[in-house]
Amino acid sequence: MQGGPWPCTARPQSRWSFRRCSAPPTPIRWVFRSGAGAGQSTLKEDNYGVNARPTGWKVFVGWRPVSYFGTELDYLDLGSHTGSSTTLTNVYSLESTAHAPALFMVGYLPLPVPMLDVYGKAGAARLCARESGSSVLNCVNLPTCPVLASPVYDSSIHTRFAYGAGAQVRFGLPALRLEYERIADSDGDRSLLSLDVLLNF
């Protein structure tokens, strides 16, 4: 007797018998994905006293060959900010920018809701950050102060650890997700909280 789309084995128990069926693993219908998103980023550079939250955006492609694991390649543009900032020794007038390509391994929680995914991700990002502008001495505690501006240009490219987490809801091929990503940096904080639209195929 066939009791379903997968084979069952019947074992006798006294005068009765019962079926013990093992359900097949849930297949992933869509292996590849691509999408884009935008949201609020954080540009924090401790050396220059910068702490801004401009608008950032990203594009990404992903590969999920099995239910619980996948990979994702992102490009993050954390936006730009122009303004003044103050440290103990200087007052700066700067434009700050940051962007990074990033490669992640993604792990998905085993949830009983087919249309919902909750996941975490970790990997590496090639962070490109720049501060440019001018500075003068912070003369709050000085009796006299030379008002002489000096140029500032600080550009760096480093490979940094990156991580994030999010949740997504699938509506067939399209999906929406809310995600937080952060690039670890000893000089500050570069991160993005975004709402993304993606397409599975």
Neighbours of 185 (CB within 10 A): 21
Q: What pLDDT is stored for residue 30 in this prediction? A: 65
* CA separation for the pair 123, 57 (Å, rounded): 19
Given a cut of 80, whether residue 27 has pLDDT beyond it is no
* CA separation for the pair 81, 49 (Å, rounded): 13
* CA separation for the pair 134, 112 (Å, rounded): 56
Mean pLDDT of the chain: 85
Q: Torsion angle, CA of 42/138/148/52, rounded to 10 degrees?
A: 10
Q: Is the CB of residue 122 less than 8 Å from the CB of residue 103?
A: no
Q: What pLDDT is stored for residue 15 in this prediction? A: 47
According to DSSP, the residues that pair with 120 across neighbouring strands are: 107, 165
Q: Higher model confidence: residue 9 or residue 61?
A: 61
Q: What pLDDT is stored for residue 25 in this prediction? A: 46
Given a cut of 70, whether residue 99 has pLDDT beyond it is yes
Calculate what percentage of the chain has a pLDDT beyond 70: 81
Q: What pLDDT is stored for residue 5 in this prediction? A: 46
Q: Is 140 exposed, middle or buried (0-12, 13-18, 19+ CB in 10 A)?
A: exposed
Going along the chain from its start, the domains and CATH numbers come out as 29-138+149-200 (2.40.160.20)
Question: What's the pLDDT tens digit per position in 138-197?
Answer: 776 666 676 677 899 999 999 999 999 999 999 989 999 999 999 998 888 899 999 999
